[in-house]
Structure 1
Amino acid sequence: MSADKQSTEHHQLATQVIHGGKAPQDPEGALVAPLYQTSTFKFSHSDQGSARFAGEEPGYIYSRLGNPTVTQLETRVAALEGFSAAAASATGMGAIAATTMALVRSGDHVLVSDAIYGCSFALFSDLFERFGVEAEFIDMADASQVTKHLRDNTRFVFLETPANPHLKLLDIAAIKTAMGASAAKLIVDNTFMTPLLQHPKSLGADIVIHSATKFLNGHGDVVAGIVCGDEETIADIKMTTLKDMGATMSPHDAWLILRGLKTLDVRMQRHCDNAEKVVSFLQQHELIKKIYYPGLASHPKHDLVGSQMQRAGAVIAFELHSDEQGARAFLDALDMIALAVSLGDAETLIQHPASMTHSPYTPEARQAAGISDTLLRIAVGLEDANDIIADLKQALDSVASRWRDSA
């Protein structure tokens, strides 16, 4: 995709985060869509209730099955990702579980990237196995591996890019090409990028998933997920796994995410600007052993920044010239930066993947995925970049003095 076309589409999306998927005009003229904080909906007569349950008449029944506030969020995010439909869920993992379980039966096979979020790994490696679905984890950086491992009973290919936690990049278009004529669905977790920085559908993705907890909401006060796809796929997810597992989103959470979406464009610009400044600082500090950040020319598949990805994002991973004890000492020495999992909040957050978000991995799986004991992941927030850097510096300096003394 050309830079000019990317810029034009970004400008359009910057408006859509505010105006996309508008609900019908409120009868009272409210600028902000009302919050339908209700568990159930009244029928005007018994025939109407029966007709709605039979699918013969549109309308709402019960908020686990649909709610006007949730519908508005689904419509807006679907529009941002370029799809015709979306389904909102109570958590990001709710979206992943409901989507993938709707696509498989016992005896099926699925392909999964070897670098994904820890709970996604646990879902595919443990729960899927319990129900007779084989999940095969492969390195999709080489797209030809997808072709080699596809089977007739492969139902989907699942990936994150950039991958959690060390920002491994995967070429979505190349993977779709490698899938050839396979009927398998290509599922992309786009949480780290948002539709403003990466548009998987235009690269061949059949389904796009977000942990809406993160950048889409942006304020650290919601856990939620959303999946986008064609109307038939989304209807199947909504009326089977999502409904029956009960992992649907609350109206209040949908209302909060709609509010957060309005500032998504300006927030992402600040997040990315701050991240670039933090990376520049980290490159100069003696305690930093390695930095994983798509914006660096040394990063594998850096060429995807500017083509597949509009910018490099706001999440950085790095390793220290230390052991795990030194990494923990650094984390404990931080003052302003919060030691907490998640990302996309106004606050800068940092965590230790091996013992936290990716602890569901076996040691062997962590090693294969490149998750070392000194790997740290920082989600750069919206504070002044100089304050973020100052806190990192004082904590790194405190550990570096001990490292020098022991060297």
Structure 2
Amino acid sequence: MTNNNNNNNNHKQNNNLIQGFGTRAIHAGQDPDPATGAVIPPISLSTTFTQPSANAHQGYEYTRAANPNRNAFETAIASLEGAEYASAFSSGTAVITAILSILPAGSHLIASDAIYGGTYEAFSKIAIKQGIETTIIDLREPSHLTKLLKPNTKLVWIETPSNPTLRIDDIQAIAKYTHEQDAFLVVDNTFMTPYFQNPLQLGADIVMHSVTKFINGHTDVLMGVAATNRIDLHQELQYIQNFMGGVPSPFECYLARRGLMTLEVRMQRHEQNAFRLADYLLQHPQVTQVHYPGLNSHPQHTLAAKQQKGFGGMLSFTIKGNLNNVNALFQHLSLVKVATSLGGVESLVSSPAYTSHARLSQSLRDTLGITETLIRVSVGIESIEDLLADFKHALENAY
């Protein structure tokens, strides 16, 4: 059995030194290489590490258990989320799998219905095979939890803002009800990143991210991460990380750590552009609805402003017509690309009804507002005038 005691301390956030977000994003866990003085630590590709004796090691033994590049990334994420611990995985869905693996058979979990399609699949079709009962429901009214929580409820899961309709759940209120049942709360913070929202400070027990998205920010890494202040949950996650083996490669950890260095400035530009685009779309005659929490017209704008530090770079909008008009709009976009995923420096559009949420039933998609004319936009950091011109041209030629 691998001994990770030394590694546990490598992830811990030093709360004695409070620095600005941008400073921590650049420096946390990013010490110069002691052997060469290299400012950027090298990529450590070795799968094994020498040991001074049979019952001791120098912090690293086998790279599935711990790796210098992974530790550097985990330390930075813990710092930015205000967490004691962080555990990186090979993808966001690997994080979901790991958290489900914490639950004993016979457990009950409750999840918001406004979640990523892959998360919905994991809960509705995979968790049941592990003997886990699942309730997926609208949690915009947190008090509904009082009627849903059971003695065997172990986990409540929300994603706020949600993918793709940017719905907001009240983290603090949901955490209160969750903890009354002695369950733990997980918040998917992928859309906001730690720059705009820190769920642990609002009562969440675990915050997770698809690192693939804004955290890395360059559309070239597949990773996930979970952060927590609870040592019991961290130890469970670390055990699963090691013995189920869903860990990211050192190279991906290196790239993700590099991406973090510019997270602050990227998120500022993502948000600036998203505000401008949302305002433009809101006034367009062919657009029937715009989902962006930063708009005063968003039904949960006040709640978003209360629990977030900003509104991010994701929005969605609905256009008049049908799928033919959506495809015509896509075909006339030049700068903006049609692709799945989100959070990169480049702007992307997609049709959630046929991508991220395609496996959900038609009736459920309709209930959630994921219609065939809903378009999700990951607003990049290009020059805003170019983005506005591209959407203007596409909308003019979509009919």
Q: TM-score, normalised by structure 2?
A: 0.92
1:165–1:377: 8 Å Cα contact kept in structure 2? yes
* One-letter amino acid of the structure 1 residue matched with residue 65 of structure 2: L
- How far, CA to CA, are the matches of 1:76 and 1:259 in structure 2? 11
Deviating beyond 6 angstroms after TM superposition, the runs of 4 or more aligned structure 1 residues are none
1:115–1:369: 8 Å Cα contact kept in structure 2? yes
Does the C-alpha gap of structure 1 residues 304 and 160 become closer, same or farther in structure 2, counting only changes over 3 Å? Answer: same
Q: TM-score, normalised by structure 1?
A: 0.90
User: SS in structure 2 opposite 1:248?
Assistant: coil
User: SS in structure 2 opposite 1:75?
Assistant: helix
Deviation, structure 1 residue 58: 5.6
Quote the residue 1:125 is aligned against: 124
Quote the residue 2:291 is aligned against: 292
- Residue 158 in structure 1 maps to residue 145 in structure 2: no
- How far, CA to CA, are the matches of 1:62 and 1:362 in structure 2? 44
* One-letter amino acid of the structure 2 residue matched with residue 98 of structure 1: A
Does the C-alpha gap of structure 1 residues 281 and 11 become closer, same or farther in structure 2, counting only changes over 3 Å? Answer: farther
Does the C-alpha gap of structure 1 residues 169 and 188 become closer, same or farther in structure 2, counting only changes over 3 Å? Answer: same
1:77–1:86: 8 Å Cα contact kept in structure 2? yes
2:271–2:313: 8 Å Cα contact kept in structure 1? yes
Quote the residue 1:80 is aligned against: 80
Which deviates further from its counterpart, 322-331 or 104-113?
Answer: 322-331
Q: Structure 2 stretches of 5 or more lacking a match?
A: 1-16
- How far, CA to CA, are the matches of 1:366 and 1:191 in structure 2? 21
Deviation, structure 1 residue 110: 0.1
- How far, CA to CA, are the matches of 2:364 and 2:172 in structure 1? 26
- How far, CA to CA, are the matches of 1:303 and 1:366 in structure 2? 26
Deviation, structure 1 residue 154: 0.6
The one-character-per-residue Cα deviations of 1:217-250 (angstroms, maximum 9, x if unpaired) are 111110100000133312211213x233321011
- How far, CA to CA, are the matches of 2:358 and 2:74 in structure 1? 32
The one-character-per-residue Cα deviations of 1:92-117 (angstroms, maximum 9, x if unpaired) are 11112112222x12211100010111
User: SS in structure 2 opposite 1:269?
Assistant: helix
- Residue 311 in structure 1 maps to residue 313 in structure 2: no
Q: Structure 1 stretches of 5 or more lacking a match?
A: 1-8, 403-407
Quote the residue 1:276 is aligned against: 275
Quote the residue 2:62 is aligned against: 62
Aligned pairs for 1:6-45 (under 5 A) are 12-23=20-31, 26-45=34-53
Aligned pairs for 1:7-406 (under 5 A) are 12-23=20-31, 26-45=34-53, 47=54, 51-52=55-56, 59-102=59-102, 104-229=103-228, 230-240=230-240, 242-399=241-398, 402=399
- How far, CA to CA, are the matches of 1:213 and 1:282 in structure 2? 27
- How far, CA to CA, are the matches of 1:234 and 1:23 in structure 2? 24
The one-character-per-residue Cα deviations of 1:275-299 (angstroms, maximum 9, x if unpaired) are 1111111112111010011011121
Identity %: 38
- How far, CA to CA, are the matches of 2:30 and 2:322 in structure 1? 52
Deviation, structure 1 residue 325: 1.9
Deviation, structure 1 residue 260: 0.7
* One-letter amino acid of the structure 1 residue matched with residue 61 of structure 2: I
* One-letter amino acid of the structure 2 residue matched with residue 122 of structure 1: E
Deviation, structure 1 residue 364: 2.2
* One-letter amino acid of the structure 2 residue matched with residue 121 of structure 1: Y
Deviation, structure 1 residue 145: 1.1
Count residues in correspondence.
382
* One-letter amino acid of the structure 2 residue matched with residue 274 of structure 1: N
